[in-house]
Structures are given as structure tokens and as C-alpha cells.
Structure 1
Amino acid sequence: MSKKVWWMTSAVVVTVAVTGVAGVGITAQKNYADVVHKAPWELSASTDAELIPARGQAEVDLGSLRSTLKELSANPALGSFGVQILDSSTGEEVYSYDAQIPLRPASATKILTSAAAIKALGPDDRIRTDIVRGPMEGSVVIRAAGDVWLDRADLMRAAEAIQVSGMKVTQVLIDTSVWTGPDFLTGWDESDIDAGFVAPMQPAMIHGGRLGEVESGDVPRSHTPAFTVAQALGEELGVSTIGVTELTEQPVETLYTIESPRLSERLRAMMQHSDNVMAEAIGREVAIKRGKGSDAQAATEAVLEVLNELGIDTSTTKLEDTCGLSIHNRIPAEVLAEIMDTAAQTQVLRPLLDVLPVAGGSGTLASRFIGTPGRGVVRAKTGTLTGTSALTGVVTGQSGHVYSFGMISNDTDVLGQRQALDRIASALSEDAAANSGVQAAKANADAQPTISESKHNPSTSDR
């Protein structure tokens, strides 16, 4: 079997995955009755047979498409702008402008973190948090392991198991030593804790440190999330003596083990809601797996190391966190595009495509691309900070070709940036009608309602 033929099989699969899942995402949304789509394509059982490369169902006038993309990229609303677009069905570069210049990426950083985690950990990876008998009589210790996806049900089951063991508990302690370094980075804004965008990075949290038993969304988060976990277990056990400790010896007995969701599920939750806490936790998990350490710097180094091993050149990429909240991160658009192209062309990063929000249908793209050709066929990760908007993902054109793209806009108004980025992605979805050019792309984009997103201020949050 040749390696070249296997690559083709991957391209076929991604075409089906993008269009099929997009249709499902859209039909699940209210008020989308006008969406028309074909019946889902069914993939037969996998075999070892190799296929010829997917070339799409129609020829694309690249000259016309590039002319359209060039004019759309000249939009002043994009400010300092970098873009790279690759045809993942042919391996050809479709369009590039300042793609090598590192720009502030915001939450598009999560694409790097996710890709590294899929490669280093695998989609079935789970975090295991042991609750053990402590060194002092009547004490139990939660050995935090980096699970920020804990919930009350986990702790209720743990309390029941401890009670069944017959142990008389007098105090609950938590050991957070698995992560080192500062739990809040210099490039972050402490007001974002109460705004719900991040929490101090401690290796055990209930729903990412959110207060009030809220499972998702931008709601205020705890300033002491690990201690809150110990308090919650104490409440379940009827114990009020709570503390923090560091175990120096191997525990004698494990009383209960909590398992996190699979990595694929954790990535989906992180991507759909652009959760910064989850992204930081996943970054540290990669660092520990790679033996780099367990602080924020180790996480960024590990992520870049894994990407380099995948053949992604990160020599001009600068990361100070793995979520994108830091204003000091810098990533070239070509890095984003190459990661998405790798996911489209190969099996190793294929799970990345499945967790991306769908345009006009889910996650941070639910209210974008409304009334545009890109609705339902663009799958992408957003990024938003003050003066920054990014978009990176994949889109299937009318021709059947699959395009991988990375786009970053800095130093202008966020809402204008978003509309301009959406126009470019929508133009890719209309590749077979490229001769209609810029006018069609603009008309479609102008037809959509004013872009807005609930629950956060797009001028400050990281989305």
C-alpha cells in the first residue's frame, strides 16, 4: 500500500464529516426551517482498501476565486491581517496574505492546544483523581490530578463509597501539588475571574470553577476553586474541617477514584464554549505527559514541541498560555491553516474537526453566518479579544473541495472584523460560483443580521 493512496482516503472522509455533521448541527437549531440539505451520506464499514485522491466534484476557477479573496482581504475592517487558505483536497495553496507574520490570536490559540493534546494524549485519554486515606486519623485527601470537569455527582458518589468503607471522616484535605508555578498569569486580567472567563488555575474544579452549580457559560468563577472542591466533598460527608495539604508519602489506601470524561468530550466542551480554564488544564496535561513539567510555561513548550513533531513550523510562534487569553501570544495565520490542513488530510488529527463549532448552528458560531452561504458548512474556532478577531477551520465548497484556513485580524473593531472574516469563509463555500465574485460575497454577508453574541462583551472576552 502506498502512503499517497491512504492520504486520499482521509480527504474523502473529511468531506463527508464536514458536510454531514454541519447538516445535523443546523437542523437542531430553532428557527432554521428554511435550511435545505441532502440526506446524510452513509459511510460503509472501513476496509484496508486504498482510494485515489479526492479531487472534488467540480473544477474551480482558481483565478477568479483568488481575485475574490484578494478583494475581500483588502477590507479596511480587517486592520492588520494575516490569512492562509489551503485546498486540502489537492494540497494546493489557494490564497495567502501576510500569513507568516505573527499576530495576536486570542482563542484561536486553542487550536494549537487541541491538536497537541490529540497527538500526545489520544482521544480516549481520561484524568483520574484519587481520594485516599490521609496520614492523620480520620482524614481523607483528594489527590488533585488536573480534572476541572468535576461535578457534584462525582463527589456524592465518592462520599457514598467512603461511608460504605466504614471510615469515620473528621477532615477533608486536598493536595494540589500536581501543578506548579503561579495559578494566574501576568498576561491575564483578574477582573475576568468575576466576569466568568477564567479562574485561578488549580488542578481540581467543579464545572471549571463556576459558582452556583452552573455547568457552562460566562458566570463568575471561584477565586479558590480547589478548596471549593474539598468543601463540597466535606459537605457530602458532613465534615466542616477543610484544608490544603501535600502528601509526601504514598497513600496506604485509595478510597475512591473519579474519572474525567474522555479527551474528545473535554475538547468538544472546551471548543464549543471557548473555555479558557479547560484549555489551560489540557495544556498542562500535555506537559505532564511529555515530561516537561506542570506549569504554564511547560504547557506552552509541550504544545509547541508536539506541533513541531507533526511538521508544523512554530519557530515564530510565541505562547504565554494555552488558551489565548494572554495579550502576549503571537501566532502566524499559516500555523493555524497548516494544523487544520493536517486534520483534514490525515487521521492523526481528524478528531479535531469533530469538535469545532458549526457556522450558524453551534457554540461560538451559533449567531454568526446567518443568511450566508457559509452557514452550516463552515466549521471553525473563533478568537476574540479587544481589537482582535480570528477564525480558523475548514469549509466544503460547492465544488466538493475541502478548504483549510487560518485568519487573524488585529487592531480594529471586533464586529467589523467578524463580518469581514465571515465573508471570506463564505466565499470559499461558493468556490464553484467564483465568477460571481466579490459582489455575491458582499451581498450575502450584508444580508445577515448584525452580529452579536450573548453572555459576553465581544470587545474584551476571549472567544
Structure 2
Amino acid sequence: MALLRVRSSLLVAVALAAASARLLPAQAGPDPETRALQQALDGWYAQASRSARGDWAIAIASQDGQLLWSHEATRPMIPASTVKIFTTGFARSVLGGDARRRTRVIGTGRIDSTSGTWVGTWSLELNGDVTLERPTRGGPSLADLAQQLRADGIRRLVGPLNVISQSGPAGASYPDAWSKHHRGRLFAPLIGSLTLNENVLSFAVAPGSRPGAPPRLVAESPLGVSELVTIKAKTVLGRSSRLRYQLTAGNRYVVMGTIGTRARTRGFSSTVQDPRAILEASWSYSLRQAGVDWQRASGLRAPSPATTTTVLAEVISEPFDSIASEVNRRSLNIGAELLLRWAGGDDRPADRLTAHVQQITGEYNSVHLVDGSGLSHDDRASPQAFISYLAKFPLSPGGHGYPMLLPANGTGTLRKLARGLPGPGVVRAKTGTLGDAATLTGYLGRQNGVLLISLMYNGPAVYAARQQQWKLFRLLGAEGVMIPDDSMGVSTQFGGDSRDTLPDKP
């Protein structure tokens, strides 16, 4: 489509006013409202392409997917985190909106009625629940499991920790599809069935009571990791803080340096390198708090002739829709990858995701996905594929109410759209950001219909491109209306958008 230059701000204002009416399909030629919108978009793109030089691909369509304006709409682009639109849709189509993840303690044996010892074998079964053991955000906890054991009369466990999943041994590893340069960063933790606290460890250190006293560990997440933290730092006079930590042999986090008596509490966060060690520390803490003694020496087992496996304790996650909403709102990479594996299995699930998107959209040449989060630079998708998915997936059996799983303007990664629009819920969309990609795709409610918008930029001017994308959504949504929830009640998401507050150490 030819780009028309808007030569005055007056013409832009006139075009936007006219564009607020419903956009109707073109017949012999564009109707006046559509033509006005096209002119306004021509003017916006002329400015955006000058402000952020690089590769742009754009598609804007009516609710039924009919293109109203486009630029390189079928060009495969790096989509970044907008891949989560596809991932949460695929997983929902397989699992359903009410699906839940289970974490269990299973055992073969019996309870000794005299001592309360579990006589037999036992294991923790973890299945990749991203909401497990998150003291600052909510979700099921290891403490819940430990308390159930105690309530059922188990006062003593014997033997080392054995961790399994429903499909075999439980573990976590760094995805092959992700760049090695991301390893160790908070947005790129280890992925697998062995997950707790999103496979991130956090703790906070405050100054001691006087100079020379050791600083105090005042908060931790997950609970119990203080067992792995050693403080070798010192408290000194003043306000400055020169603390640092080092991970040493045996998965010990050693805090060194100095902190002033009047310094603020210093927080540390790190991706977990050995999830099993963190799990063991947190499980030990939970058992102690529940009044269950654990003798975990290797080689110890309480023999039992029993052969039937029993569920000794169980906790379940929030429903899928609540988890998916949080994954999209926070752009949570570990959450997206675990949803993909939950729905697609551990063997090449991205291939199944790609096939799902191709089948829904009919776009077989412009979609190739290698992960579920969009963190890989090898992912490809076109604006046309996104527009088609936004139009068609909600009409599929698993897609009812799907737009409500995307964050509303003013929340999560759409915080910047808190201003410039009539109110929250006018936009339901997903952002994507990498070092060379800025994308924004979703729904925009208008008085007489919903627009489907996919803005994709690949190039070095990521910040400038994002500002232009915000500008267009404000431009088209100036007289927008809240997108109806299609009568599907997605519950308010548990958890917040920040990790500012750690639980106090008991």
C-alpha cells in the first residue's frame, strides 16, 4: 500500500477524528472513514520510520482479520515476547482454562503409630508449577505439603531427598534455543519440572546493631535458603554499603564486604544454579516449621514390605487462565516455557507450537518458533500471522474469551499506556523486547468495533521504536472503549508486578 505523506498537523487531526467511526470493509474503494484512517497511519509511519531506522513490518485489521493498513505484513520478523500470545493460546487449547498443576509427596510404606515415622520410601513430585513456593507472589507452598504430612500423623521422615516428576526424574536446565549471553540473568533462569520460586533466589541483608557486628539476614525467598547463606561481611560506621556475594563450592552464598550502620537494607537476587540444593534447603525448613523431623543422611531408609504408592500430601496451582494471565502480564519467560512443555511435552514442544499457529492462521511460510517465550533470536513470525491468530483463535474451541488473558493498558508491560487512553481495558496486548527488536501486538477497543494491531520493529533503535508504538496506540485509542470480556470470567491474577518486597526471615 502506497504511503501518503501528511503535510500538516491539521490534516492529521481531521483524519483521526474521522477514523473514530467504525471501519468498514472496502468495496469498490476505501470508504471515507477507512481512507481517513489510512492517511493518519501513513503520517504516523512516515514519522516512525524516520525516528527508528531499521526494519518495520505492520498489519492493522478489523476484528474479522481484514487488513485495513499494512507495511511488509507477511515479512517474517523477530517477534520477541509476543511469542507468548501463541504459547498461551496453544497451551490453553490443549489443557483448557481450568487445568491445574499438582505438586505431591508420594510414598510406599506405612506410618509407625508409635513414633510417627514414615516406614518406607518417599519422594517429592514436582511437575513444573511456576507458582510453587513464591512467598512474595502467592501460590502453593512446600509448607502446605509439610503441614499435611503432620496433620496425617507423620512426625518423622528418613532418607535423602528424592525428586521426581510424573514423567520421570525431575530436573531443570538452560534451553538450547536461548543465547548463552542471557545465562545467569533474572529473565533467563533454568527451565524444567524442578522449579520453585521461579528458579530465582533472593535475600536481603541489614547492618548489625553496632560497628564490628555481623550484618543480619532479614529476608529470604524461597523460605529456608538462609541455610545456604554465610555472612562474612562487617558492619561499619556510616551510610555506605559495599556488600557483594559469591557462590562457592557446596552451593554456599557467601556475603562479603561492609555495610554502614545507617545504610539501607541491601537486597540480592540471582538465578539458581542448582535447583535441587535450593529445594532441599526450603523443604527442610518447611518440615521443621511443621514439626516433622527429617533425618536425611544418605543411605538411610526405613524398610517396609508395602508395594502400593500412596499420595501423602498434595497442593495444586491456580487455574491455567490465572497463570497464563500472569505470564503475559509480567512477560515471564520461565512461565511461558513451562506452559509450553506442559501442553507440548518435553520432546520438541516448539514444533507443536509452530504447527498450531500455522494451522490456526494458514500462514505456513512466515512462522517458525523454537521456544515458547520469544527469548530466542531464531523465532520468526509475521504481522499477518499475528493478526490472523488474534482474529481466528478466539473463535476456536479453546479460544473463548482469550483476549482477556492479555494484559490491559496500564498494567504489567503495558504500564506506559496508563495515560493517553480513556481508561484501562481499552487495549489488550503484548509487548516484546530484545536488544534489536521492539514489538507490540493486540486488540484495541473502539466505539464501533475492535482493531487488531501488530507492530514489529527489528533494528538498533529499540527505544525510539517503542515510543512510536505507544504513540500509535494512543492515537487510535483516543476515543476507545473497554474491550468486552466476552462473558468469560478470568479471575484477578494473584501476585504483583514487582519483586520489591521479600518475606521477613522468621
The alignment's TM-score, normalised by the length of structure 2, stands at 0.64
The CA deviation string for residues 224-256 of structure 1, in whole angstroms up to 9 with x for no partner, is 23542343223222436389xxxxx99621111
- Find the aligned partners of 1:180 and 1:84 in 2 and give their Cα distance: 42
Determine the structure 2 residue equivalent to 1:113: 87
After superposition, where does 1:54-453 map in structure 2 within 5 Å?
56=22, 61-74=33-46, 75-76=48-49, 77=52, 79-88=54-63, 91-133=65-107, 139-151=121-133, 154-167=141-154, 168-171=156-159, 172-176=161-165, 178=168, 183-189=173-179, 192=182, 194-212=184-202, 219-238=269-288, 239=294, 241=296, 252-288=309-345, 294-295=346-347, 298-343=348-393, 348-359=398-409, 361-368=410-417, 370-371=419-420, 377-397=426-446, 399-430=447-478
**Alpha-carbon spacing, 1:251–1:102, altered in 2? closer, same or farther (3 Å):** farther
- Find the aligned partners of 1:115 and 1:234 in 2 and give their Cα distance: 38
The CA deviation string for residues 166-193 of structure 1, in whole angstroms up to 9 with x for no partner, is 4431232211555899821234245645
- Find the aligned partners of 1:149 and 1:234 in 2 and give their Cα distance: 19
**Given that residues 286 and 302 in structure 1 are in contact (C-alpha distance below 8 angstroms), is that contact kept between their aligned partners in structure 2?**
no
The CA deviation string for residues 20-43 of structure 1, in whole angstroms up to 9 with x for no partner, is xxxxxxxxxxxxxxxxxxxxxxxx
- Find the aligned partners of 1:364 and 1:179 in 2 and give their Cα distance: 35
Shift of 1:342: 2.4
**Alpha-carbon spacing, 1:391–1:91, altered in 2? closer, same or farther (3 Å):** closer
**Alpha-carbon spacing, 1:304–1:187, altered in 2? closer, same or farther (3 Å):** closer
Structure 1's unaligned 5+ residue stretches are: 1-54, 244-248, 289-293, 433-452, 457-463
- Find the aligned partners of 2:175 and 2:449 in 1 and give their Cα distance: 42
**Given that residues 369 and 422 in structure 1 are in contact (C-alpha distance below 8 angstroms), is that contact kept between their aligned partners in structure 2?**
no
- Find the aligned partners of 1:342 and 1:250 in 2 and give their Cα distance: 50
- Find the aligned partners of 1:114 and 1:156 in 2 and give their Cα distance: 29
Structure 2's unaligned 5+ residue stretches are: 1-20, 25-30, 110-117, 203-219, 223-267, 289-293, 299-305, 481-496, 501-506
Please identify the structure whose Cα radius of gyration is greater.
2
**Given that residues 80 and 433 in structure 2 are in contact (C-alpha distance below 8 angstroms), is that contact kept between their aligned partners in structure 1?**
yes
- Find the aligned partners of 1:95 and 1:263 in 2 and give their Cα distance: 35
Shift of 1:62: 0.4
- Find the aligned partners of 2:103 and 2:297 in 1 and give their Cα distance: 18
Aligned residue for 2:340, secondary structure, equals helix
- Find the aligned partners of 1:273 and 1:70 in 2 and give their Cα distance: 32
- Find the aligned partners of 1:116 and 1:370 in 2 and give their Cα distance: 32
Q: What is the one-letter code of the residue matched to 1:150?
A: L
- Find the aligned partners of 1:390 and 1:242 in 2 and give their Cα distance: 52
Shift of 1:85: 1.3
**Given that residues 83 and 406 in structure 1 are in contact (C-alpha distance below 8 angstroms), is that contact kept between their aligned partners in structure 2?**
yes
| More strand as a share of residues | 2
Shift of 1:319: 1.5
**Given that residues 194 and 276 in structure 2 are in contact (C-alpha distance below 8 angstroms), is that contact kept between their aligned partners in structure 1?**
yes
Q: What is the one-letter code of the residue matched to 1:67?
A: Q
- Find the aligned partners of 1:333 and 1:396 in 2 and give their Cα distance: 19
**Given that residues 139 and 169 in structure 1 are in contact (C-alpha distance below 8 angstroms), is that contact kept between their aligned partners in structure 2?**
no
Q: How many residues align?
A: 365
Aligned residue for 2:373, secondary structure, equals coil
**Alpha-carbon spacing, 1:242–1:427, altered in 2? closer, same or farther (3 Å):** farther
**Alpha-carbon spacing, 1:229–1:315, altered in 2? closer, same or farther (3 Å):** farther
Q: What is the one-letter code of the residue matched to 1:429?
A: G
Q: What is the one-letter code of the residue matched to 2:185?
A: A
**Given that residues 79 and 411 in structure 1 are in contact (C-alpha distance below 8 angstroms), is that contact kept between their aligned partners in structure 2?**
yes
Aligned residue for 2:416, secondary structure, equals coil
| More helix as a share of residues | 1
**Alpha-carbon spacing, 1:236–1:369, altered in 2? closer, same or farther (3 Å):** closer
The alignment's TM-score, normalised by the length of structure 1, stands at 0.70
The CA deviation string for residues 259-304 of structure 1, in whole angstroms up to 9 with x for no partner, is 111000100110110000000000001113xxxxx14xx2211212
**Given that residues 421 and 477 in structure 2 are in contact (C-alpha distance below 8 angstroms), is that contact kept between their aligned partners in structure 1?**
no
CA-based RMSD of the aligned residues comes to 3.4
Determine the structure 1 residue equivalent to 2:11: none
**Given that residues 395 and 429 in structure 1 are in contact (C-alpha distance below 8 angstroms), is that contact kept between their aligned partners in structure 2?**
yes
Determine the structure 2 residue equivalent to 1:34: none
Shift of 1:194: 4.0
The CA deviation string for residues 66-119 of structure 1, in whole angstroms up to 9 with x for no partner, is 12213322322152111111100x553211211111111110110110111121
The CA deviation string for residues 312-356 of structure 1, in whole angstroms up to 9 with x for no partner, is 424431212110111211111111111212256567424331122
